[in-house]
Amino acid sequence: MGLLVVGSVAFDSVKTPFGQAQDVLGGSATYFSVAAGFFTDVSLVAVVGEDFPQEHLRFLESRKIDLSGLERVPGKTFRWKGEYGFQLNEAKTLETQLNVFQAFRPKLPAGCRGREVVFLANIDPVLQREVLKQVEKPKLVACDTMNYWIEGRRSELLETLKLVDILIINDGEARELSREVNLVKAAGRIRAMGPKTVIVKRGEYGALLFADGEIFHAPAYPLEFVFDPTGAGDSFAGGFMGYLAKTMDFGPRNIRKAIIFGSVLASFNVEDFSLNRFKKLRWDEIKERYREFRKLTHFEDLSED
């Protein structure tokens, strides 16, 4: 069993109305791995530069994340700088330095090729397919993408989607990819491209699941304080995929549970900058917030009177 993720490990500099953080640990695969690690073993495939500190490696290893696929090469680690206004749903990118990530070509160690659950984080769709060629017999493949690839590599992305079981994207990306404004129609068009399950992240409005004959909505957890939304979507994907990899049950009922666990992990992530909240998060807190999510959406059937 276990879970494989391929994506970015980075340094983030973030400013929000509630504070700021400089050169902190970030990257899509980092958030995903730590969130998923609460449920299952995770193999992380990414690249960092010579400037990546040992303390970050020790933290990831302390979460029992397999780093055999994490390359360290000459140069500087990927850096991203962004700022959020009081509308916390979307960051304004101020600076992106791809550095060593620009030449990243994922190479899976032998021990990672047998992973049964695979998540292709936000990288070039050509590289996503190259990863799948190296995996032996995955039972579930999910991926993420972004506007940059939808706009600039659309034909390559469409080829990748033919090989994917689950696509996790935000509402703006779903509309752009499908060329439909209505999310129900958008999901239908995307499902016709290959992935039979589409999960649309909607920030503070929760997430929508579209699958065979069903739609499911998971709310976002109402928080009094949101300090940093960076990595929330990746944490959602990590919680979601981590639970599926733990249970190896990909049926509709279990996918709904996985979405709630994803929402739980995302809700904790935004309570502090970088991965600070995850560093002190306990399993009993995760279970309690899962129960609170259930209370949020529970209601009685209509009386027959």
pLDDT digits 0-9 by tens, 52-109: 999 999 999 999 999 999 999 999 999 999 999 887 777 889 999 999 999 999 999 9
Residue 12 in this model has a pLDDT that exceeds 90: yes
Sign of the four-CA dihedral 220, 27, 258, 243: negative
Residue range 239-251, pLDDT digits in tens: 999 999 999 999 9
Q: CA-based Rg of the chain, rounded to a whole angstrom? A: 18
Residue range 166-215, pLDDT digits in tens: 999 999 999 999 999 999 999 999 999 999 999 999 988 899 999 998 99
Residue 304 in this model has a pLDDT that exceeds 90: no
**Whole-angstrom distance, CA of residue 86 vs CA of residue 97:** 25
Could you say which of 3.20.20.80, 3.40.1190.20, 3.30.1330.60, 2.30.290.10 is the CATH number of the domain covering 3-297? 3.40.1190.20
The average confidence (pLDDT) of the chain is 94
The pLDDT value recorded for residue 300 is: 79
What mean pLDDT is predicted for residues 287-295?
Answer: 94
Residue 135 amino acid letter: V
- Please answer whether residues 152 and 124 qualify as being in contact, where contact means their C-beta atoms are separated by less than 8 angstroms: no
Query: Exposure of 72 by Cβ count < 10 A (0-12 exposed, 13-18 middle, 19+ buried)?
Result: middle
- Reported as type and span, the H/E element at residue 126 is helix 125-134
The first and second tokens of residue 47, run together, are 């690249």
Q: Residues near 138 by Cβ (< 8 Å), separated by ≥ 6? A: 115, 116, 117, 118, 132
**Whole-angstrom distance, CA of residue 208 vs CA of residue 66:** 31
Residue range 222-231, pLDDT digits in tens: 988 889 999 9
Residue 305 in this model has a pLDDT that exceeds 60: no
The pLDDT value recorded for residue 213 is: 83
- Please answer whether residues 131 and 15 qualify as being in contact, where contact means their C-beta atoms are separated by less than 8 angstroms: no
